[in-house]
Amino acid sequence: MSEDALKLTTYFGERARVKGRLLADELLDAHARHDIRLSVLLRGIQGFGAKHHLRTDRLLTLSEDLPLVSIAIDERERIEALRREVAALPGEGLVTVERARLTDSLGGLSAESELKLTVCLGRHERIDGEPAFRAVCRVLREAGVSGATVLLGVDGTIGGKRRRARFFARNGGVPLLVLSVGEAVRMDRALAALKQMSPSLLCTLERARVCKRDGQLLRPPVHDALALDGGSAWWKLTVVTSEAARHQAAPVYLELVRRLREHGAAGATSLRGIWGFHGEHPPHGDRLLSLRRHVPVVTETIDTPERIRVLFGIVDELTSERGLVTSELVPSSAPLGRSPGL
């Protein structure tokens, strides 16, 4: 199993509607109709889009239209067909297409220096009595990857079958994602250990660059040779920090989105994880009866190579001591209602 696949991501608002229905329902129905191997709907905690209206769950009135992110991964033809349908939907939002591999081994990616691994699990799935996402994080950490974050989905499809969370239900089968990045050699080790632990894990691999870890600059966010490739490429900058991490008095993730908006970034979305680790730090999540939260927060922004270089300056300043910053090439990015070329 090692397939040339694509990942279709849609960023939009919780209240966005098409033809009188919620866009989220419309998208996930389309995923199920197209029998998408793996798709997840994630709920953001703050963000802004092309119109620069800030949404945040920190203030009640501004939390009424929080960002949503839907991700669909499958082989090329299926995603191409889905993309044609999604791109035609009217409304406000952003649609991106990235290259990925549905695989449990490095295959043709072994020449890369760093990789991003996504593992899809059921919310209440267990491996040897341990919650599966914790077991996967433990294996990743033992293999020495740079970091991993667990994001809880609210809807999705696994193997084409719809897995939607309901209010009064156990929701054990609703998908969650474990996102991790690390050096290819360590990822190889992690994949072997994961396969041994649970042979049927649903994994995808993508190219990624680790730019900064715990204050240490490792690589510039934009690969010069790739940035010039066709001139139409976009880049995604991803910042992972603990919710408890702060810059001066403010939490880093809040300050980051505030500054990205001030500096005219095209958009940004923050997602709160439920568990994760990066670097040498032990895995962390919320603690019972603790006022402060300790879960990881992932913030993404997508822009042109030139703009990403500028925005990285902001990110660099805010992650002077802690956090994990990665970048990825996004071959195609276009607003909803317009067909993104690939």
Which residues are near another protein by CB under 8 A?
53-54, 56-62, 243-244, 246, 249-251, 254, 258, 261-262, 291-293
Question: Nearest-CA neighbor of 207 among 170, 177, 182, 174?
Answer: 182
Contacts of 171 (CB under 8 A, 6+ apart): 123, 124, 165
Beta carbon of residue 48, minimum distance to another protein (angstroms, whole number): 10
Compute CA 66 distance to the chain's CA centroid, rounded to the nearest angstrom: 16
C-beta closer to another protein: residue 1 or 60: 60
Residue recorded with tokens 């920190």:
58
CB–CB of 76/5 below 8 Å?
yes
C-beta closer to another protein: residue 67 or 131: 67
Beta carbon of residue 241, minimum distance to another protein (angstroms, whole number): 12
C-beta closer to another protein: residue 8 or 152: 152
C-beta closer to another protein: residue 99 or 272: 272
C-beta closer to another protein: residue 173 or 251: 251
Residue recorded with tokens 């439920």:
274
C-beta closer to another protein: residue 71 or 252: 252
CB–CB of 43/154 below 8 Å?
yes
C-beta closer to another protein: residue 262 or 317: 262
**Helix/strand number for the chain, H first, E second:** 7, 25
C-beta closer to another protein: residue 33 or 293: 293
Beta carbon of residue 69, minimum distance to another protein (angstroms, whole number): 21
Beta carbon of residue 27, minimum distance to another protein (angstroms, whole number): 27
C-beta closer to another protein: residue 219 or 261: 261
Label residue 285 exposed, middle or buried (CB < 10 Å: 0-12, 13-18, 19+).
middle
Beta carbon of residue 320, minimum distance to another protein (angstroms, whole number): 18
CB–CB of 324/316 below 8 Å?
no
Q: Other CB atoms closer than 10 Å to residue 52's CB: what's the count?
A: 12
Beta carbon of residue 206, minimum distance to another protein (angstroms, whole number): 32
Beta carbon of residue 57, minimum distance to another protein (angstroms, whole number): 8
Q: How far apart are CA 36 and CA 156, in angstroms?
A: 9
Pairing of strands 17-18, 21-22: antiparallel
| Helical H segments across the chain, by residue range | 23-33, 76-87, 132-142, 184-197, 224-227, 252-262, 305-318
Compute CA 132 distance to the chain's CA centroid, rounded to the nearest angstrom: 19
Beta carbon of residue 148, minimum distance to another protein (angstroms, whole number): 23
**SS3 state at 268:** strand
Q: Write out the two tokens for 176.
A: 């969650």
Question: Nearest-CA neighbor of 297 among 341, 248, 230, 252?
Answer: 252
Beta carbon of residue 301, minimum distance to another protein (angstroms, whole number): 17
H or E, element range at 187: helix 184-197
